[in-house]
Amino acid sequence: MTAWHTLNPAPAIQRRVGRLILVVTAVVVVLVLRLWHLQVLEGDRYVAMARHNRLRLRLVEAPRGILYDRYGQILVDNRPSFDVYLVPEDVTEPERTTARLADLLGMPAEQVAEKLAAGRIRPFTPLLLKAGVPERTMVALEERKLDLPGVGLRVHPIRAYPAGSLAAHLLGYVSEVNQAQLAREEFRDFAPGEPFGQAGVERRFDAFIRGIDGGEQIEVDVLGRITRLVDRTEPQAGFNLVLTIDRRLQDAAEKAFAGKNGAVVAMDPRSGEILAWVSNPAYDPSVFTQRISVEEWETLANDPRHPLQNRPLQGQYPPGSIFKLVVAAAALESGIITPSTPIDCPASITLGNFTFEDWKREGRGVMDLRRAIAESCNTYFYQVALKTGIEPIAEMAREFGLGGELGLGFGDESRGLVPTPAWKQQVTGEPWYPGNTLNTAIGQGMVLATPLQVLTMVSAIANGGALYKPWVVKRVESWQGEVVEEYGPEVLRRVRVSPETLRILREGMWAVVNDEQGTGQRARIPWIEVAGKTGTAQVVRKQLGQDRRGPKDHGWFVAYAPAHSPEVAVIVLAEHAGFGSAAAAPVARAVLEAAFPLPTVEVPRERRPVAPAVRQPTAPLPSPEPVFGD
Amino acid sequence: MPLDRRLIQNFEWRIVLTAFLLAGLGILSIYTATATATLPLKQHLYLRQATWFAVGAVFLLVAVTINYRTAGRFAYLFYGLAILSLLLVPFFGRVGLGAQRWIKLGFVAFQPSEVAKLALVLCLARYFEDRKERLTALRTMGGAALLTLLPALLVVRQPDLGTALILLSAGIALMLLVGLRLRVAVPVGVGLLALAPIVWTFLKAYQKRRLLVFLNPNLDPLGAGYHVAQSKIAVGSGELWGRGFMAATQSQLNFLPENHTDFIFAVLAEQWGFVGSVAALGLFCLLITRGLEVSMEAKDLLGSLMAFGITATIGLQALVNVGMVLGIMPVVGIPLPLLSYGGSSMVMTLTAIGLLLNIRMRRFLY
């Protein structure tokens, strides 16, 4: 029994602690002896090692993972870049070295001298003198290496874009971590100059793509020349990504949309997979692979056409007549109308002192919902919206994912705007007027949506009510092909809309493309049934009547095909291009044509015509030219 | 409560002085280690460390004023909160240096594993105090072992092998102190060794590598082996009198990675040589022996165990860290108390020292 339960526990603990003091003393004695050994007995040796035998760690950069399309086509790859470095401490004759380098690299001598002087603060750290020199310069430097102590050459992988600026906004770009990032806690493991995915997939999946750098421990002599490679750890390449993008659709979309500004996105409505992603004007991601100059950056960042903006995700536009689908759904669900309720479509309606016009100057008579959608009659929807009221319409819009983030996971996603009386009161201090309801009914006024939101909404209509989260990466794979992560469809929610209502909307969208008076006839494809909806978003200046010759309206078109079992949905937004029917519908058609190419008919072998080229020659053909020599 | 004059009389100035001297030495070493650092962020580390020292001093003062028996009363709650924060790390933790160890609270990030060290010591002290009639019973020891293992396992998953080992050692030291018999301890130890292969599978690749590198330093000259090789060169080239203030080329020129955290002793040893290193070790010795004396003189089991646990935690870390820097112990990533850069470690160590003073001050009150 220990003595602890007695009043005086001292003897037991004193005995044990006393023993412990002995142990501590013994350990300290060992440490002191070790210090004596290292610092006094062997101190000379270590001083010599510190002075002469300089072990250096040299980074061997890991190549980033490759980005593939869904069928394994390379979208982003790596290529070697040849860089020239200086280790200031090892440059023995600065003037001669500066002159020679300036000559070989085609740089002003002052610039080399300046860099060298700046590097004196950290004399042992290799300093990048010039990145991406041509291979022949590399060879020339290699030959004169002995005359140029302190000059180092390095090959390191940088991003290559075999497809140019294809899908640039989705893939993103890679550049060195900048000073502002380095100052942040989350970048505490980064060294200056390290490559980092700065946008799009490259940023979102950087941790997967970046790989693990290797290193070399090298021994250098007094002149800084490598005397021995002590050890090398191979870098581990980053993981590859297989994207959901379909290169064929992407190419078709880029080609059809060339020269226009705006966005084109294709999606599989059955899963939310992004198949194509175009944001124009685009930028060339390869300008970022070498250090980008301040001027270059500012030119890009201050371009009035905003090439860095990721329009499908960040651009907010009035959805125009596409919003009529929301109004129709709200009216049907609240029982205000049935598909066959006859409503007149006059040239204009008057509300108080204001006249609200249809986009067609002449009235079009009484019509049902299907025709109203197909012909996109404004006055029909004004009346329906007034009966339904703004609240159910706003609620329906939010149900379809408007006015909120979809969670694509990269880039700053815009939320869009679904205006309500409460919102208006809070922001403008003004009450909601019936006129606001009318404007909202045709997707004008305050309502804003991103192209991706509209596409997701229409995909939900097409697939029978599932609002899928858009996604772009199917798989993360190691270089050995092992699947590291796999992603799949994710339903954000099932929209609370009856299947019957959705069916009616789809019927209306079919009519848009296929009816005689439909506004989307330019999206018709003879061998596949297409459904769609046009939209024209008025540009405010023109709406206010201040400048009739101002920029043209934005044209929208959203479509999916095959109409009865949709596999591909496409959204097109053409900025300042006029009516959606003319500006956007042909682009959507081009994308759908790429998705569903004209089927070729299989003809049985015996019925195939025999091509002349295939015929076997009965006699040797005469030589077309006389044969010389031998 | 009127202030008892004996409280002031028994205030142990030597402990405070030693601790503050060590902290000052730490800030100075961090300054020299990071003066030429490549990252702008790192150049201000010594200022941050000084701030943490000031915060720690306030915590020390608070720990001195609150009776340690009150601290004992809340020990279980403190332990519970520490476990909770360890559990939260995987969900809210910030990743740094390949591990998830920090939790962000507003604009400060703290390391729950540092809090866990003090929490475990307080909890075990209270636990044994509650069971002083049957201290050596197998049940009591089993409970103590579970209390120790829980935070240790949570910490090893982060992964932070060094802190996990410190937690285990502190627990075992306290159990031995209250009378764990060797004839119990040895079979249990053997049993735990048998579990080692299982633990091995839990370790991250780099941790396994570090242990293997300890057995054979040539295995990984770029990673852990490089650390030790460079650390030895830095320490050795300090010679008898050191290279002088700001003249330590090895540790300053970034030959030695992580020099301001786990390898801060190498910076000190290169600058101030054998004389300086032994002086620093002497300060730690003073702190440890004074701490053990406090433990011996405490008037109740709670105070005695608390003082012992605190001293053991600080002492173990100090000795293992220095052994690691000198290449005679494996590189397991343990900070040098009061010297290594790190806010949580500084604040918790000073708080613990406050408690130590507190126990000493009240040795005549019961």
Please state the ipTM of this predicted complex.
Answer: 0.87
The number of helix segments (H) and strand segments (E) in chain A equals 23, 23
Nearest 5°: the CA angle A406, A408, A411 is 110
From the candidates A81, A175, A321, A376, give the one annotated as an active-site residue.
Answer: A321
> Can the peptide bond before residue A281 be classed as cis, meaning omega within 30 degrees of 0?
yes
Three-state DSSP class for A532? strand
Cis peptide bond N-terminal to B257, omega within 30:
no
pLDDT tens digit string along A188-219?
777 777 888 888 999 999 989 988 888 777 76
Distance CA A30, CA A49 (A): 24
pLDDT digits (tens, 9 = 90+) for A275-293: 999 998 988 888 888 777 7
Set of chain A residues whose Cβ sits within 8 Å of the Cβ of B255:
55, 124
Cα separation, A215 vs A428, in Å, equals 60
- What integer pLDDT is reported at residue A263 of this predicted model? 94
**Ramachandran angles phi, psi of A61, nearest 5°:** -70, 135
pLDDT score of A628 more than 90: no
Instruction: Kindly state whether A31 is in contact with chain B, defined as any CB-CB distance less than 8 angstroms.
Output: yes
* Residue A531 confidence (pLDDT): 94
Q: Which of residues 248-277 of A touch B (CB under 8 A)?
A: none
Give the mean pLDDT of A14-30. 85
**Kind of pairing, strands A273-280 and A343-345?**
unpaired
Q: How far apart are CA B167 and CA B154, in angstroms?
A: 11
Q: List all residues of chain A from 34 to 73 with a beta carbon under 8 Å from chain B.
A: 34-36, 38-40, 42-47, 49-50, 55, 57
**Rounded Cα gap, residues B47 and B43, in angstroms:** 9
pLDDT at B109 over 80: no
B344 contacts B110 by C-beta, under 8 angstroms: yes
Verify cis geometry, omega within 30 degrees of 0, for the bond prior to B159: yes
Region at B275 (left for phi over 0; alpha for psi -120 to 50; beta for the rest): alpha
Please compute the mean of the pLDDT values over residues A588-592 and round it to a whole number.
94
Residues within 8 A of A (CB atoms), B 86-145 only: 94, 96-98, 109, 132-133, 135-136
d(CA B103, CA B113): 10
Cα angle, residue A190 at apex, residues A213 and A309 outer, rounded to 5°: 105
Which residues, other chains included, contact B280 with Cβ-Cβ below 8 Å and sequence gap of 6+?
A: B22, B25, B265, B268, B272, B339
**pLDDT for the residue A457:** 96
User: Tell me, what DSSP letter sits at residue A525?
Assistant: B
- Looking at the complex, report in whole angstroms how far the Cα of residue A232 sits from the nearest Cα belonging to chain B: 8
| Secondary structure of chain B in HEC code, one letter for each residue | CCCCHHHHHCCCHHHHHHHHHHHHHHHHHHHHHHCCCCCHHHHCHHHHHHHHHHHHHHHHHHHHHCCHHHHHHCHHHHHHHHHHHHHHHHHHEEEECCEEEEEEECCEEECHHHHHHHHHHHHHHHHHHHCHHHCCCHHHHHHHHHHHHHHHHHHHCCCCHHHHHHHHHHHHHHHHHHCCCHHHHHHHHHHHHHHHHHHHHHCCHHHHHHHHHHHCHHHCCCCHHHHHHHHHHHHHCCCCCCCCCCCCHHHHCCCCCCCCCCCHHHHHHHHHHHHHHHHHHHHHHHHHHHHHHHHHHCCCHHHHHHHHHHHHHHHHHHHHHHHHHCCCCCCCCCCCCCCCCCHHHHHHHHHHHHHHHHHHHCCCCC
Cα A440 to Cα A324: distance, rounded to the nearest angstrom: 9
CB-closest option in A4, A232, A233 to B135: A4
Closest-CA residue to A207 (of A161, A243, A172, A238) = A238
Q: Which residues of B, range 166-185, sit inside 8 Å of A by Cβ?
A: 176-179
Cα–Cα distance between B339 and A435 in angstroms, integer? 71
As a whole number of angstroms, the distance between CA A314 and CA A38 comes to 62
Task: Give the bridge partners for A357, in sequence order.
Answer: A348
Tokens of residue A114, six digits: 């300046």
Select from B240, B253, B295 the Cβ nearest to the Cβ of A40. Answer: B240
Sheet of A273-280, strand order: A273-280, A262-268, A568-574, A554-561, A531-537
Residue B127 has pLDDT above 60, yes or no: yes
Alpha-carbon gap, residue B332 to B319, rounded angstroms: 13
Alpha helices (H) in A389-446, listed in sequence order: 390-399, 421-428, 434-441
Contact (CB<8Å) A43/B301? no
Of A39, A121, A188, the CB nearest to B239: A39
C-alpha span between A615 and B295 (Å, rounded): 105
Q: In angstroms, what is the C-alpha Rg of chain B?
A: 20
A527 and chain B in contact, CB less than 8 A: no
pLDDT-wise least confident of A156-170, B111-125, B221-235, B332-346: B221-235
Question: What's the whole-model pTM score?
Answer: 0.62
Rounded distance between C-alpha atoms, residue A267 and residue A250, angstroms = 11
Per-residue confidence at A116, pLDDT binned at 50, 70, 90? confident
**A39-53 mean pLDDT:** 80
d(CA B213, CA B215) in angstroms, rounded, equals 5
Rg (CA), chain A: 35
Residues of chain A contacting B237 with CB distance shorter than 8 Å? 43, 46-47, 49-50
Q: Give the residue-averaged pLDDT of A349-368.
A: 86
User: CB-based contacts of A300: which residues, under 8 Å, 6+ apart?
Assistant: A283, A287, A307, A308
The mean pLDDT of chain A is 84
**Hey, are the CB atoms on B96 and A215 less than 8 Å from each other?**
no
Q: Which of A17, A50, A216 sits opposite B237 (nearest CB)?
A: A50
Best of A38, A182, A218, A219 to disrupt the B interface (most B CBs within 10 Å) is A38
For residues A550-573, average pLDDT: 90
Q: Is B205 at the interface with chain A, CB within 8 A?
A: no
* Residue A461, CA distances (Å) to A186, A397, A584 in order: 41, 12, 20
Q: What's A617's DSSP letter?
A: P
Asked if the C-beta of A32 comes within 8 angstroms of chain B's C-beta atoms, the answer is yes
Beta-carbon contacts of residue A608 (< 8 Å; ≥ 6 apart) = none
Picking from B43, B237, B265, B297 by the largest number of A CB atoms within 10 A of its own CB, the best residue to mutate is: B237
**Rounded CA gap, A450 and A315, in Å?**
6
pLDDT beyond 60 at A627: no
A7 in B contact zone (CB under 8 Å): no
Concerning whether A286 is annotated as a catalytic residue, the answer is no
Residue that wins the pLDDT comparison between B41 and B346: B346
Nearest CA of chain A to the CA of B322: how many Å?
Answer: 8
Any CB–CB contact under 8 A between B70 and chain A? no
Q: In terms of pLDDT, which residue wins out, A19 or B151?
A: B151
Residue type, A575: E
Count CB atoms within 10 A of the CB of residue A53.
16
Task: Outline where A448-532 has alpha helix (H).
Answer: 451-463, 499-514
Positive or negative torsion for Cα A514, A516, A519, A525: positive
Work out the pLDDT band at B224, boundaries 50, 70, 90. low
Beta bridge partners of A85: A128, A152
Q: Of the candidates A492, A493, A485, A403, which has an alpha carbon nearest to the alpha carbon of residue A440?
A: A403
Q: Do the beta carbons of residue B26 and residue B321 sit within 8 Å?
A: no
Q: Is the separation of the CB atoms in B128 and B135 below 8 Å?
A: yes
Cα–Cα distance, A142 to B246 (Å, whole number): 37
Q: In whole angstroms, how far apart are CA B148 and each of A92, A327, B74, B154, B337?
A: 59, 64, 18, 11, 21
State whether residue B296 sits within 8 Å of chain A by CB: yes
Crossing angle of helices B13-34 and B264-297, in 10° steps, is: 170
Distance (Å, whole) CA B22 – CA B282: 10
Spatial distance between the Cα atoms of A405 and B192, rounded to a whole number of angstroms: 52
Our CA-based measurement puts residue B274 at a distance from the nearest CA of chain A, in whole angstroms, of: 6
Answer yes or no: is pLDDT of A146 > 50: yes
Task: Give the helix/strand (H/E) hosting A154.
Answer: strand A151-160
Q: pLDDT (tens digit, 9 = 90+) per residue, A435-474?
A: 999 999 999 989 999 999 999 999 999 999 999 999 999 9
